[in-house]
Every structure is written in structure tokens, then in C-alpha cells.
Amino acid sequence: MKLNYLFLLMLATTLQVRAQDDVYPAKEYKGLLFITNGTVHIGNGQVLEKATVEVRDGKIVGVGANIAIPQGDVKVFDVTGKHVYPGLILPQSDLGLKEIAAGVRGSNDYRELGELNPNIRSIVAYNTASMMINILKTNGVLLANVVPQGGIISGSSSVVQLDAWNYEDAAYKQDGAIHVTIPPFSAPRSRFAVRSGPPVDYVKVANEKIEEVKDFFRQGKAYLEKNSHAEVNLKFEALRGLFDKQQALFVHAGSVSQMLAAIELVKEFGFRTVLVGASESWQIAPLLKENNIGVILGAGHSLPGTEDEDIDQPFKTPAVLQNAGVLFALSDDATNTRYRNLPFNAGTAASYGLTKEQALSAITLNAAQLLGIADRTGSLEAGKDANIVVSEGDILDMKTSIITHAFIQGRQVSLENKQTQLNERYLKKYGLQN
Amino acid sequence: MKQIICAGLACLAIGFLYAQKTFPVNGVADERNTIYVLKNATVYKDAETVIPGATLVVQKDRIIDIGTNITAPAGAVIIDCSGRFILPSFVDIYSDYGIPVPQRAAGAFNFSAPAQFNSNTKGAVGWNQAVRAEVDAVNIFTSDEKQAKTFRDIGFGTVLTHQKDGIVRGTGAVVTLANEKENLAIVKEKAAMHFSFSKGTSTQSYPGSLMGVIALLRQTYIDAEWYKNNPAAEGVNLSLKAFNENASLPQVFEANDKWGDLRADRIGDEFGKQYIIKGGGNEYQRINEIAATKASFILPLNFPEAMDVEDPNNAYQVSLNDLKHWELAPGNPAAFEKAGIPFCLTPADLRDIKQFLPNLRKAIASGLSEKQALKALTQTPAELMGVYHLVGSLEKGKLANFLVSSGPVFNEKTVIFENWVQGQKYTVKDDDEAIKGTYNLTVQSGGKTETYTLVVKDPSSASITGKDTLNAKFTYNNKLVTLSFPPSKKSKNSIRLSGIALGNEWSGNGADTAGNAVFWKAGLTAAAVAVKDSGSKSAPAAALAKITYPFGSYGFDKLPEQQTILIKNATVWTSDIAGKLENTDVLVRSGKIEQVGKNLNASGAVILDGTGKHLTAGIIDEHSHIAVASINEGAQSVTSEVRIADNLNPDDINIYRQLSGGVTSSHILHGSANTIGGQTQLIKLRWGADAEGLKFKNWDPFIKFALGENVKRTTSSANNRFPDTRMGVEQVLTDAFQRAVDYQNAVKAAGTVSAKGRKGAAANPWATVRRDLELDALVEILNAQRFITCHSYVQTEITYMMRVAEKFGFKVNTLTHILEGYKVADKINAHGASVSTFSDWFGYKMEVLDAIAYNAGIMQKMGLNVCINSDDAEMARRLNQEAAKIIKYSSITEEQALNMVTINPAKALHIDDRTGSIKAGKDADLVLWSDHPLSIYAQAEKTIVDGIIYFDRERDLQLRKSITEERNRLIQKMNGEKKAGGRTAPFRPSTQALLGCGEHDDDGSFHLHDDEQAAAW
């Protein structure tokens, strides 16, 4: 691989790896850029063989087989034999908020105290120096939604692009959604949980908490009907976007009961609503369709919810949603791999009922639609940002999912990260080649 | 001779058995020698012998005669028991009657809290707070009339009582339920020694797991043996002393579950003990294995109640396993009877003790014979406790413990009237049959007489018919009658009467509605027709749930057998020198791969068409935590005595799920809570087998070690367990092996070659050296008889682990996790360890900051034997994909990648001569894939272990259908039960055990925190 020789050369001169400190965000590129001769997966189901993507000043201006490449000061990437995809979008994450999951409290900024925190904004804590970010880029993930946790209303999430100096550079769409977590309606299915303490009436507690949220929204709505207030309430102010339909409500709910409660919440307030997690959404897919509720599924690579459930239920849930016409995206919330396997969750969905292009949409265009950024990204269509990845082969299948190029808003971004650098460092130590 | 009607007088017996000679009398001596003659009864001498028209003669606490043709002695009180049944009162040998129930100290087990290393029990007792061999029930027993009555009311007369606390619980005493001083109620002071798997109120950290409990028991047996020689070093140890003294008593083990029963029995086998096993009620699911224990059982009747599952979303969370158990549990005693296993029944474990007889009737309706039921409540328990000469049947000389009932005792409508204990009569229920009927009631007020018809239904309800039919308030209590009723429906005032019953003629006084005095009389005109038993012992409904193997979903109706299988025309990835073979056949016979080649034929073989498909060796997971009841014994830093093998759980659904991902063997490791963890167990995924059947036979034993954050309890803010740093971890290792070396030398010096060897059996070394199971396992490591797989992350600890091993002259067999292995791959190579890692885990804790997805690739290129493992029940079913990722991150060949989950782990586990590749002569552990085995689109269609197809995707589709149908049937049935007014329990979701590396087990409440969860790996 050419890229790696390049690294070896670099290493020979610098002699020291500085834990990705020398991986720089790319400079803005004004002008024309062509990615030619690849198999272009648009993201909306279409595939063009031997096609060219034309980019001007960071925007896609055309995609097709008959695009002429002018002479002169243009960048051309001949990707013959390779596959071209929209940049992958991770729709649910704590990227940049949680660095070292366990044992290092100081590295974590993802969960705030308090129950009702619509005013909490994840973007302000998004750490562009997180070592996770470049690792995701290397696997083709170019955008991520950064979500705060804690309480029932956790705050607003923002979409970031993964090649930035600071959070203001990174912000792709700020405060696009407010996140609510529906409490559980029954005891967790853990043998540890069952043993401890007096019995809890989960249904009662859940209903009380949901009522608390509804009451909060009602009061917020009333508050916002007045233009000025002697005492400004930051929490209510933070709801303005929801009532203006500028923001979506993202409801974290897994079980059918939780999701039904979410539907009821939507009925009352009419927010644009997306369910997050939604592991049992396959049981009520027509109902979600009917209520125009979107879904962001958690990791498809997970175990069935019960002993009796079909062994491959989580793998085939995307196909159930697809067939019911529900707009859905896939995420990857596996703690131990930190999101880097997003494309493979889609690959599994393609093995269990989706077409490969449908599976691709679930990590690109569908995610963009749910996050409210489909006018700018999610597919390789004229007018959108040039957020593009190129892979040696099928991006959904790990053995061929080898990313060779990535572009964010037309900038060719580095695919290096701390791990690639450590790899080079030790290959060098042992005199090996990758 | 005064003759009274049986059960005629409701009197509560009080301590009048006989005066104790040593006790001073305050008053006049009241010695009584009354003889009672109960005649004309149907007497059950025992379960086998029924004597109609028999007579029972009782004096003081004994039966002095029984039979027909008995002449009542002069001066006896004669009780006519015509129509009555007399049978021995029941014996419960699993009670804690009259024993204080110890309370666990507030604030149960908390993983983050400081550890308690030694016992809090005061006195010259043993080191572990849960070994309470010195406790004798006889010393702490007090008669408790309130409690006694609840047991007497359901038919019991005698119990074995003990303190249900701890792993070794001391001795139990046999006592009667008489309202007597303890001196007289105690029948046998020490009748049995008791054991359990629960540490009870012990606050000591060790043991913190089921396997730790078993290890502690094992060591206690060994220590007790050693203590017989009064080793000076031990001083006085009252726990061990008592343990030895009571060793010849019957030994009762509370195991509470079918697998627990088998675990208990295996401990017994090891130490030459045959336990009497207290079961859990699910034994019918594995009755053959249960029979093979040759144990006698004590069975509870705590059948699950129908749950409220009207809400389909609730119903969804109740497992088929639990639904089936609800339906089949009442058949548990019948299953024992059918299998010829001796058993007794106990009311223990019942939420409401009054459910005992109703549940017993359920058991009978489910096939238990009445004869066996009676035997299980009388003779069997009495014999087991060595008190059959006193209780358990009605014979001359035995204690006068018997029941007087209205009919055969197990009939639905039968009422127990009296329970005689030690010759004293205790009324359970007044015989009120006789008062039921129609009476002619006349009420005289002034000169006026009103006549009514009074219909008495039972001692608290009656109706009056005059002009209207009126509800009356009626009570009948020990011959005293009260009655009040309005003279007409419209009347707001009542006529109030009270009086006494003199036989069938009742009379008394009262007041009319105006308050005038009245007199009344009532005479029986027609006795009520006795209610017959509904006789609803209809045969159990035909379609009951099937017992499958395992019992829950996806089980087999009968265990699958080896077949001759011919896989035709597949792409065969041999994981061997032969490489990848196109269009190749593989013949499997008698569990082995017989032939690999082209155009093979075998008559009678099951043909699997492999056209367009791929065949690989079964996947071997070097690092797994499935199929166990507990995973971590983290209470001490060195726990090499604990064994995963002691607590396998063959019912874990993850076995089946992983078969569906092509896994055929899994190395089940102890967790990573401590530096020297427990002994591991290699299993084959023989879905449906029992614990023994899962085990990989004749393998080299392994042990789990762990280093780094988990063993220094990084996520605990209050750690007091050494070590707290990696510096300390290195010393734990060094110290442990130094102690092992010294121990080995001491054993040698004491007269024999090695702990296991037993050559030159000169002097018994264990007379002078305390045999230590913890050190035995370490000595095995020193002698290359046991091999280490060591959880390790960062380069420092990887290096010092190898150096410590080298210092003591052995090799670390496998470094598992090994996420910084790439940094010291050359050193690992020089040492000669295998490595087993994840493809791409990183960033979940400090010590994986330098974890890279290129690790496996670098180590492969450095010539190491590299395995890719799961450590995760979900990922284990996609290990082929995990291997494929190594191609993505490092340029290795496809065959090299596949080997990382087949032949390489086989090598690491020393089983590469038997499995891990496709080659004639090897075990037929195979996977037929729908696609390229390293592709995400590949699905395992058939997974074969030992020539048996354990997973078949087509069969799986059938099973899904039948699971749905069976669940639906059972949920409907449960809902039906609720609608019919049956007892229902509130909904509670079924729990499934899913254990991770860092999980802990304890009796107390324990819940993993988010952050601790992450530290599980």
C-alpha cells in the first residue's frame, strides 16, 4: 500500500509518533475536484458504474458517467476498481464527550446532573482532540451526532463533522434535537436487579416521570406564548426550537411500552419525533409509520431481547422497518469498539433482509434525514456537501472495507490516527511491512 | 366410662405431657395417666396399611395399642371416631421451627466497598464466617406455639429444625410441634448436619461466587480431616471439631435447583458422602440425571403461580422456560415417584404455608399417588432422620402423633379436625358438620310465638325463612349460638338471639325488635347432606408442555445422535496444510472426520449439498464466559482453588446462539477480578447435554490469571485488597509461586512425590502438611500440568508476567486480551506464549488507550500463534467476522485470518490434534456457511459438533414457529387461570443470566454500575 510507505518515510524523518498530534485537519480547498472511474453508490439506492463525482468549492456539482474532466488546476482522484460512497453518518454517540469510558472520571463529560435539562448543549463540550475522532474517520464515518445524557430531558445534540480544530469549526448542525429518555416500564431482565430492594412499581414510576415531562412541556409552551418575562427561565427558553419545529424530539425508548408512551407524547405536542434505541420497534413498525415517527436503532450486533426471541432478531429488525416504510437509521453503540463498526452493522442488516443499497442508506441518507441535514449531506447528489469516502471494495463487508480516501466538504482529510501511527511505529521497530 | 364424640370438644392442649421430675411444682401435683381410646376409625398405620374399624389407644405421649378387637381398658376416655380417618401426622425434615432467623447486616454486598477478609464470628471458630459447623439447633431451639400451630394446621407433628444460615450450617434437631417445654419437645438432639450453597448472613467477602462456595466446602472437608491430628498450628477450631463430630450424621444439602442438586452430589462423591438433597422443584426437567445421584430428596411444593400476563408486552418478557415450568412443576413429585427416587415433601419455600395441602393435591392430580404422597410425608422423612422408631407410622410404642380427619386426607373436601402430638390433642378445625341442616325455630315473646325455618350452612352463616327469606347473622362457637335477623325484609331492626346447643336441640333467650325479652328454641328437622368430594381428579389435560433438552426454548425433544454425514461439493477451508479445497467432499462418521476428498460416497449417510457453500472447521473461542452460574471469585487476590467446572450452566441460551455463529468449542474462563483467578473449563457446545456432557474430555487443564486495572480494583474508590498497583500485582504473582515452591518442597519432605503423584506412598504427607487446594493448582503450573491463560493489556505487565514465570521455570501458555502485545511481540515470541486478542476493541478504559486494530496483524507477522476471541456472548457468534477484520487492518491472508478462530486457538489449548482443522481422523466439528466464511454476508447453515448437527438453520425456523405456538398456548392458559379466579402473582420479567468478565456474584444485591460494566473486560 502506497499510503503506508509514505508513513514510513515520514517516520524516518520525525522518528517519533506523537499520538496523532501531527494529524492535522485539512485545509479548505476551493476549486474543482473529480473522483473518477469508481462504482458510485449515491446513497439513495442508485449505483453508477465507472462514474465520476464532480466537486466544486466543497459542493458536489454532478455525478455521472459522462462528466468531462477539464485540464488545468483541478484535483483528480482516479479510483478505478474502488467504490465511492457518501460519508457515513453516526446518528447517536457520545463522541468527544466520553474519552476513557471507565475509571477516569475526568475524561468524561457526557452525563449531567438533574432531571430536566433541555438547556444543556453537547456541542460546547465536544472535544475535537479526542482520539476517537480520527479513528472513526479512518473507517469512513465523517459526521456524527453528539448526544448528552442524564435525567429525563438530557439536552440538545449537535451534528459535527470529524475534521475540525475546535467545536465551532466542527459544528455541522447545532442543537438539532432535544433528547428525552422514557423510563423503563418493567424491571430490567437482570438477575442482579431482581434480588435487590423492595419491589418497584415500574409502571407507576414511569407514568409519573412521563407526566412530569408533559407538564414541563405544557408550562414551557405557555411560557413561550409570552414575548417577555421578568424572570427568564433558561429551561423553557431552550424549548423554543421544539415548538417552532426547528428542533426534533429524540426519544430514547427500547420496549414497546416505552415507545407507546413516546407516541402518546408526540400526539399531544406534535413534535417531529425520532425514536432512539427502539430495539422492539419491529413489533410496532406499522404504528410508527402511521405516526410518522423515525427510528435510530442501536447496535444491530446485539443479542435478542429475550431468550425466546428469534436468534437473529436484532439483525433483521432493520428489514422489518424498511418493509413497513419507517424511516430509520442504524447506529453502533457497542462500548468496546467505540462506533468504528458502523458500516458492519449495516452489512449485517444487508445479510438479513435489506439490499446493500438500503443498508447503505441506513447509515447515510436516512441518518441525514432524521438529523435534519439531508439538504446538505447523506447522498452524492448535486448541491450537497462533498462528504465522500472511497473504499477498496464493499464498505459494508469488513474484509473489503478498506478506506483509501475521505473528503469532508471537499477537503481531503487525513486517514491517519493514533492507531495507524502506533502500527507504523512498531512495524518499523520489527522491520515489518503492513 | 364416659363416652365422647370424636372432636366433640374444642380444647387446646397445653403442656400437660407429664411433669418433669426435676422441676418444682407450684401448687398441687397434677399427674395424669389418662388413657384415650379412639375407636371405629379408618386407621392408616402407614402408607401401605389401612385398617377399617380400628381402635387406637393412647396414654401419655405414646400409642399403647392399635388394631381391631381391642378391648378398651378400664378408666379410659372413649372417643367414637365413626366415619373418621386417623393417620400418622406428617414429618418435615426441612424446617427452622423455633430457631431464630439470623438477619443479614444492613447494607448488603457492595463491590466497591472494602473487603472483609476474616470472620466476624466471635470465639474459637474457623476462618470463614459462612462455615458454621459449630451451630447446633438443639442449643438455640425454643418452642413457639404460634409457629407450631401453623404447621400443625396443615398436618405436621414433627419437624427437623435447623438454622438456615451459611454454607455449613451445623446440626439440626428433631422436635415435635407439641405446645411443650423444649425439654419434652425435642425428640433427637442431633439428627443431621446441614449444608447449602448460600453464605447467608456472612458478611465476609469470601466466597463471593458459587464456585467459591464449592471450593470452600472442598477445602473444609480437607481441613477437617487434617484437624483430626490436632495440628498445633491450628489450635482449637470449634468449627472443624464439630464438622468431624457430626460427620456420621445424615448430611442434608440445600441445593434448590436441578443443576444445584447435581453439583451437591458431585461434592458428596468427592468426599464419600451421600447427601440428602433439598431440591428446588425443577428436577423433573432432568430426572435421569437426578436419579443417577442415588440421593434421597426433599422436595418443596412451591409451584409457581400463574402470572398476570394479560398485557402482551408483559407476556413477551416471560420466557417459555418459566411458562412451561409453571405448567409442569406440580408434576415434579410424580416424576420422582415414576423414577423410583426416594423423596419427602416439605412446606418450606411456600410463600403462604396454607398452600401446602392445595398444592399437594395439585401434585396428586399431576400423577403423584396418594400412597407415595403419604409415605413422603411420614415414613421416608422419619427414616432419613433415624426417628422412624418414634414417628412416621402408627404403631405400639411410637409417639402418639396422628391426625383425625373427615376422610382420606388428600381429598379436596377432607377436613383435618385434630392433630394429636405427643398424645395431646390440638384442634385444627371444629367438627361443624353436625350442625349443618334445617332447624325449626320458634321465638316466644309474651304470649306470641313466631315460627321460622333456620338453615345453617356453616358455623358462621345461616338464613332464616319466615314470610321472606332473610339473611341472618349467625355464629356457632363451641356450642354457643348467636343469631340475629330482621323480622321482614323491610325491617331495619333485628331480633337478636343467643343460646346453647344441646345436641340437636338449641335454646336460649334474646330480644325482639322492640327490645322485649324473648325465649327461643330450634330443633333439627333435617341434617344437611354431606358434601361429596368433587372427585375432580380428572386426568391431567392431554396437551402439556414437552420436556426438552434444554428445558427452555430451542431445546431438543430428545438428545440428538451422531450420524454419518457426507458434505458434498463444498469449498473446504481446511485450516491445515491442504489449504482451501474447491468442490470437495467431507465424510463424517462416528463423530470423526473420516475422509476429505472428491466424489466420496457413503451409503446411508445424510447428504448435505455444499454446492456454492463453504465448509470450515468449527470456531474455537479461547475466551468465553457463557454457560456458567458464576464467573468471578474476586474476594481474594489468589483463588486458584476455584473451578469453573463446578458451576457450568448447560441451559444458557447463548450456547445455542453461538452455535448459530459456527462456534463449536469455548474456553470458559474465570473472570478478571483477581490476579490468580480460577481454573477454567473447555467445553464443546453440545446443546442439550448436562454439565458433564458439555465438558471437553481429556484436555490439559488451564487456569485464568489477570493483571492490570481489574485486579487492582480501579473502579473501586475504597479498595483495601492488595494489590492496588501493578507493582503489587507482580508481587502477588511472585509470592504465590514462592509459596507453591515451598509447599511442594514441604510435601515432598513429608514423604511423597507430588500432590497428585502418590508414588512411593510412604508416609501420608497430609498428616503434617495441610493440603491446600489453592497451592495444589499452582504446583500443577510449576510442573507443566496446568497452563495459564493470562488477561493482560499493557506491555509492562505482559513482560513481568513472563519474567515471573521464567523465574519459577514455567511458561505462560496464553496471553489473552494482550492489547499491547504488538509492543512486546518479540519478547512474547522468545518466551513462547500464544496470544489471544480482540480484533478492534479500544478506548473503554485507561489500559486500552494504546490498543490498536493492527495488533493481531503485527503479532501474526512476528510469528506468534494468534487467536481472536470474544469475551462477549454476542460477538462470539460473529468470530468469523472478527477474524476478517484482521485482513482489513493488516495485510494477512484469508487463511491466516480464518486460522485465528480455528486451528490457532486449538493450538493454544493443546487440542490441535483433535479439532480446529478439517483433516481425516479429527473430531467432526464443522460449519457449513452460506457464503465466504470471512464475509459479513455468510451465515452458518449447519454447525456440527462431534458429528452431530447441533444447529440447523432450517430446524431453527421450525423452532421459532413452535416456540410462538407453545408460548401462546401457555399464556392463554395462564390468562384463563386468572379469569377463573385462580391465584395469580404479579407480572415479573424472566431473567436471563449473562455474565461478563468483571461480573460478581453474591447473595446480596449487586448491580453493575455503568463504569464497572466497562471494567468487565
Per-residue model confidence as pLDDT tens digits over A271-318: 999 999 999 999 999 999 999 999 999 999 999 999 999 999 999 999
pLDDT of residue B533: 56
Domain termination site, one of B914, B939, B964: B914
* Residue B822 within a domain: yes
CA dist A151 and A117 (Å) reads 7
> Which positions in chain A touch B714 (Cβ < 8 Å)?
102-103
Q: In terms of domains, do B399 and B466 share one? A: no
Q: Is A101 on the interface with B (CB under 8 A)?
A: yes
- Give how far B142 is from chain A: nearest CA, Å: 31
Domain ranges of chain A: 24-87+378-415, 88-377
Closest partner CB to B884 (pick from A188, A398, A430): A398
Q: In terms of domains, do B834 and B863 share one? A: yes
* Residue B139 within a domain: no
CA dist B561 and B946 (Å) reads 10
Where chain B has pLDDT below 50, the residues are: 1-2, 7-15, 107-108, 753-755, 760, 994, 999-1017
Q: Which of B327, B301, B14 shows the shortest CA–CA distance to B154?
A: B301
Kindly identify which residue of chain A lies nearest to residue B991, measuring between CA atoms.
Answer: A189
Q: In terms of domains, do B521 and B653 share one? A: no
* Residue B166 within a domain: no
Indicate whether A191 pLDDT > 80: no
Q: Which domain holds residue B14?
A: 1-22+31-89+393-434
User: Distances from the Cα of B821 to the Cαs of B189, B865, B970, in angstroms?
Assistant: 63, 12, 53
pLDDT of residue B11: 43
* Residue B940 within a domain: no
Kindly identify which residue of chain B lies nearest to residue A99, measuring between CA atoms.
Answer: B843
Q: In terms of domains, do B417 and B469 share one? A: no
pLDDT of residue B540: 52
How many residue pairs from chains A and B have C-beta atoms closer than 8 A?
199
Contact A152, A209 (CB under 8 A): yes
Grid cell locating B197: 450453597
Q: In terms of domains, do B819 and B889 share one? A: yes
CB contact under 8 A, B858 and A104: no
Residues 6+ apart with CB under 8 A from B735: none
- With a cut of 0.90, is the ipTM above it? yes
CA dist B778 and B675 (Å) reads 13
**Phi, psi angles (nearest 5°) of residue B268:** -60, -45
Please report, as a single letter, which amino acid is at residue A299.
A
Q: In terms of domains, do B414 and B496 share one? A: no
Helix (H, G, I), strand (E, B) or coil at B975: helix
**What CATH fold (topology level) applies to the domain A24-87+378-415?**
Urease, subunit C; domain 1 (2.30.40)
Domain termination site, one of B888, B914, B940: B914
Helix (H, G, I), strand (E, B) or coil at B154: coil
Contact B134, B122 (CB under 8 A): no
Q: How confident is the model at residue A248 (pLDDT cuts 50, 70, 90)?
A: very high
Q: In terms of domains, do B417 and B470 share one? A: no
CB contact under 8 A, A351 and B936: yes
pLDDT of residue B24: 86
Mean pLDDT of the region A390-410: 98
Grid cell locating A41: 453508490
* Residue B978 within a domain: no
DSSP B255-268: --SHHHHHHHHHHH
Q: pLDDT tens across B753-794, in order?
A: 444 555 545 678 888 899 999 999 999 999 999 999 999 999
Helix (H, G, I), strand (E, B) or coil at B373: helix
Q: In terms of domains, do B852 and B794 share one? A: yes
H or E segment at A181?
A: strand A171-181
Q: In terms of domains, do B775 and B903 share one? A: yes
pLDDT of residue B539: 52
CB contact under 8 A, A397 and B937: yes
pLDDT of residue B751: 76
**What CATH fold (topology level) applies to the domain A88-377?**
TIM Barrel (3.20.20)
CB contact under 8 A, B838 and A336: yes
Output the domain CATH number for residue B480: 2.40.128.20
Q: In terms of domains, do B520 and B423 share one? A: no
Grid cell locating B351: 410463600
Domain termination site, one of B509, B527, B545: B527
Q: How many whole angstroms from its chain centre is CA A8? A: 33
Torsion of CA B624, B630, B632, B638, to 10 degrees: -110
CB contact under 8 A, B552 and A196: no
Indicate whether A18 pLDDT > 70: no
Output the domain CATH number for residue B678: 3.20.20.140
Grid cell locating A258: 416505552
Kindly identify which residue of chain B lies nearest to residue A417, measuring between CA atoms.
Answer: B852
- Give how far B932 is from chain A: nearest CA, Å: 11
pLDDT of residue A187: 83
| Interstrand relation of A141-146 and B614-617 (parallel, antiparallel or unpaired) | unpaired
CB contact under 8 A, B660 and A100: no
Q: In terms of domains, do B443 and B422 share one? A: no
Closest partner CB to B862 (pick from A308, A337, A430): A430
Only one residue has cell 377463573, namely: B980
CB contact under 8 A, B963 and A351: no
Q: How confident is the model at residue A16 (pLDDT cuts 50, 70, 90)?
A: very low
The number of folded domains in chain B is: 3
Kindly identify which residue of chain B lies nearest to residue A259, measuring between CA atoms.
Answer: B313
Q: In terms of domains, do B397 and B502 share one? A: no
CB contact under 8 A, A186 and B960: no
Output the domain CATH number for residue B67: 2.30.40.10
CB contact under 8 A, B888 and A399: yes
